[in-house]
Amino acid sequence: METQSENRAFGGTQGVYRHASSTTHCEMTFGLFLPEEAKDGPVPLLWYLSGLTCTHENAMTKAGAQAWCAEQGIAIVFPDTSPRGDGVANDDAYDLGQGAGFYVNATQDPWAKHFQMWDYIAEELPALLAETFNLDMSRQAITGHSMGGHGALTLAMRLPGRFRSVSAFAPICNPTASDWGRKQLGAYLGDDTAAWTAHDATLLMREVGFDGPVLTDTGTADQFYELLKPEALAAAVSDRRQEATLRLQKGYDHSYFFVSTFMEEHVAFHAEALYRE
């Protein structure tokens, strides 16, 4: 693993690291903020999964998470959203290919060779983090924005016991019923829609739910509101009687101005779960 940069921030260290991935068969880059407490012992870890077109850098520089994580003594990791590089399949559209991995394991050509983002986030990167940094992997939580909110919710529900809490900013809630989902799931997983259901937060909520607290925020002025389908997730939460707080924030859109506005509340939400005995 190569250290690309390390900068002191809020008493801790914001690093950027690069490594050869055996899962995606290319070089992968991630950001990791370690609070000052990591010098003295393992600290809890919050995952932040980014949305379409993003790299590891977008949330790292725009979400404002480090200050609140430093206050709570929590590390936060910012993975990339897809494999990248020469020889990695891509598409002219912004919502497919590089920058749009959708946190699934692709089974279809030309995506299958590199686009194994579920295994990268669920298995390879956690193992690398545990081996390399002073992290308490028994205390993990996960959040994300848009496509990353979709990833956070589906990972949390399909990996029971891994995460103590899950939150999302403007998540894609029902991708099997949305143009933000049907296109990508069809391309990556093929025409058998039964294979898509494992990556739909609304369907997973109805089937298995999450053994812990859930928080989502979506702006009422979100320009992609109809694609996100928050009402579908709300109905599933109600039907299952899932512990959850699903909020609509008046006048907010899909941008990082929205994300940064509510980041303090999301970090505090996760800190309560991470430090609960």
CATH of 2-274, one of 3.40.50.1820, 3.40.50.10860, 3.30.2010.10, 3.40.50.300: 3.40.50.1820
Instruction: Establish whether 146 is a catalytic residue.
Output: yes
Contacts of 108 (CB under 8 A, 6+ apart): 187, 188, 189, 190
Q: What six digits make up the tokens of 251?
A: 């006048």
26/31 Cα distance (integer angstroms): 17
Catalytic residue among 146, 165, 167, 178: 146
In 3D, which of 177, 152, 185, 178 has the Cα closest to residue 78? 152
- pTM listed for this prediction: 0.98
Instruction: Establish whether 222 is a catalytic residue.
Output: yes
Per-residue pLDDT 10s for the chain (277 aa) are 999 999 999 999 999 999 999 999 999 999 999 999 999 999 999 999 999 999 999 999 999 999 999 999 999 999 999 999 999 999 999 999 999 999 999 999 999 999 999 999 999 999 999 999 999 999 999 999 999 999 999 999 999 999 999 999 999 999 999 999 999 999 999 999 999 999 999 999 999 999 999 999 999 999 999 999 999 999 999 999 999 999 999 999 999 999 999 999 999 999 999 999 7
Catalytic residue among 167, 222, 266, 270: 222
Instruction: Establish whether 200 is a catalytic residue.
Output: no
> How far is CA 125 from its chain centroid?
13
Catalytic residue among 114, 145, 254, 270: 254
